[in-house]
Structure 1
Amino acid sequence: MTSTRKILLCIVAIGLSALFVRLGFWQLDRHGERSAGVRGRAARAEAPRLVWSDPGDVPSDTAGLIGRRARLTGRWDRAGEVVIRSRTLDGRAGAEVLTPLFVGGDAGPVVMVLRGWLPAPDGLRPNLSAGWADSPAATPGADSPARVDGVFVSSRDGRGGQPLQVEIGGARHLAIAGLDLALIREESTLDPSPHVLRAGDPPPDAALRPAREIETDSGPHFSYAIQWFSFAIIALAGTAILIRKDGNRTSAARIGR
């Protein structure tokens, strides 16, 4: 191996190692952010349950509510239900159901409630009627207000994917790929508040199953960081070994002469 090739090899190895180290520190930053979020949610989970039954009680700190327990009272809007498509549970195809709740009544703010999961062979058209128990609070137009307990969860703009309008039970419903309030505002007549409630255990006489739990760990970012740092070490060590072996072969060839 010529001196020029050795220099080029070293430059490439150092460049790759620098890139791998940078990616490793980026993963450590992500690990720190996720860990802080988990700690924050755990602390908020211990806070007293927020009771929101009047339109004037709108919580202002949306981000600071993620993970906090809450009880909301209002009126369900079953006609405005939104489907989060292609959600599997125990190997079965299905979808999750987002139901608007008018807090405090028809004039109150709209909160999207992630009520749970329903089976759907195509992952798109669950039997929404099966997700309701035969109780006065679940019946449209009933005098008794609906009350739902749950935990506030986060949404993210841009995760909704391609919006679809699908017919379910003779009515049109919006179907999206993820919990995206901005997309719901664009594609429906709803104007939901920035709060999303993941409901607790569904009624025993409804076909709903609990929706996905919110994340409670810091994810795989720390292990990813270790991998990137390992790649950096391998790149440098491998290059050094290769150059050393080439040097030994060159020395042996000279001695053989």
Structure 2
Amino acid sequence: MSRYRFALRPKWILSHIFVLSLVVIMINLGIWQLHRLQEKRDRNARVTARSEEPVAQAGDLAAPGQYGKVGGLEFRRATATGTYLGDQQVLVRGRSNDSAPGSWVLTPLRLSDGTALVVNRGWISNSGEYDAVPKRFAAPTGEVTVTGLVRETETRGSFGSVDPKTGTLTDLARADVARLDQQVDEDLLPYVLQLQVQKPAIRAADPEPVPAPALDEGPHLSYALQWFSFSLMTLIIYPLILRRRAREIEREERNAALDAAAADEAEPDGGDPEDGAQLVSPAAPTGDPSG
């Protein structure tokens, strides 16, 4: 393990923490997508079960003001007969249809008992240019019978546009029955009916009915598998990066040692230059100097 001593340096420790945090985040994102998948499956089961129940009379499901009792009724099919209050219909801004911008048209339907039901007559394309329902989308006159899905009133969460609390509005940020109830003379039932069938029949010039909720599971499973795959790839690739770096350091150290050894061999002998040297005396004359 000595080859991985570099991994204990501060900058590498920070790298380990970052990678580990990244893996934890990706795993949690995958788990969150699985939770979203289960929520979608549960919702689909509720939609299927409730929409298969017998069609109920709208006034029998809840009384005006009973907003807290509608949650268990959403996606039930209901029917009602009455007369549209066309002069009191409003737009709900920012509703797309196949990515096209537009609005919903909400029209109160006055019932025989004097209460009214908010009917979502459908979607119109407006690209944000309207602040009231155009005249060409006027509600039909006379008695009509409507059948559709019960949808809960919408309320603002932590974010989103805020509608004025007072005054008569011609467009809303959301299908808020309580806010609409402030400007409609009749008492409104505490939910919206998403129109599917109307008698007399829906006209070609009427808003396009909003489709029933799709029962697909969405992309949550594929997203979860992607996050788990990213986590696994990180856990495989990061050790390989450490291994590669360890080999690079070993190679650098080995090359440095070879360079040092070569340098030592190339150095001249550093001893006393006179060591081992023999002093040679001038040659003595030979023979008789006189001869």
Question: Could you say which residue in structure 2 is the equivalent of 1:152?
Answer: 150
2:40 & 2:27 partners in 1: Cα distance? 20
1:129 & 1:86 partners in 2: Cα distance? 20
Larger radius of gyration: 2
Instruction: Note if contact 2:107-2:139 (Cα within 8 Å) is conserved in structure 1.
Output: no
Closer/same/farther in 2, CA of residues 211 and 56 from structure 1, 3 Å limit: closer
Could you say what the CA RMSD is over the residues aligned between the two structures, in angstroms? Answer: 3.1
2:83 & 2:113 partners in 1: Cα distance? 6
Question: Could you say which residue in structure 2 is the equivalent of 1:3?
Answer: 8
Question: Could you say which residue in structure 2 is the equivalent of 1:58?
Answer: 62
1:91 & 1:35 partners in 2: Cα distance? 24
- When normalised by structure 2's length, the TM-score is 0.68
Question: Could you say which residue in structure 2 is the equivalent of 1:96?
Answer: 104
Instruction: Note if contact 1:94-1:124 (Cα within 8 Å) is conserved in structure 2.
Output: no
Question: Structure 2 unaligned runs (5+)?
Answer: 1-5, 258-291
2:233 & 2:75 partners in 1: Cα distance? 41
1:76 & 1:94 partners in 2: Cα distance? 22
Closer/same/farther in 2, CA of residues 128 and 211 from structure 1, 3 Å limit: farther
Question: Could you say which residue in structure 1 is the equivalent of 2:174?
Answer: 178
2:121 & 2:203 partners in 1: Cα distance? 13
Closer/same/farther in 2, CA of residues 114 and 133 from structure 1, 3 Å limit: closer
How far apart are residue 57 of structure 1 and its match? Answer: 5.4
1:34-93 C-alpha deviation (Å, 9 max, x unpaired): 2101111011121111123xx565377522222222111234222321201244557765
How far apart are residue 214 of structure 1 and its match? Answer: 2.2
Instruction: Note if contact 1:93-1:119 (Cα within 8 Å) is conserved in structure 2.
Output: yes
Question: Could you say which residue in structure 1 is the equivalent of 2:47?
Answer: 41
Which of 6, 18, 24 is residue 12 of structure 1 equivalent to?
18
Could you tell me the percent identity over the aligned residues? 26
- When normalised by structure 1's length, the TM-score is 0.76
What SS does the aligned partner of 2:209 have?
coil
Closer/same/farther in 2, CA of residues 211 and 47 from structure 1, 3 Å limit: same
What SS does the aligned partner of 2:120 have?
strand
Closer/same/farther in 2, CA of residues 215 and 174 from structure 1, 3 Å limit: farther
1:63 & 1:88 partners in 2: Cα distance? 24
How far apart are residue 114 of structure 1 and its match? Answer: 0.6
| Structure with the bigger percentage of strand | 1
Which of 73, 83, 97 is residue 81 of structure 2 equivalent to?
73
- Report the count of equivalent residues: 238
How far apart are residue 153 of structure 1 and its match? Answer: 2.5
Question: Could you say which residue in structure 1 is the equivalent of 2:247?
Answer: 248
1:177 & 1:217 partners in 2: Cα distance? 27
Question: Structure 1 unaligned runs (5+)?
Answer: 138-145, 166-171
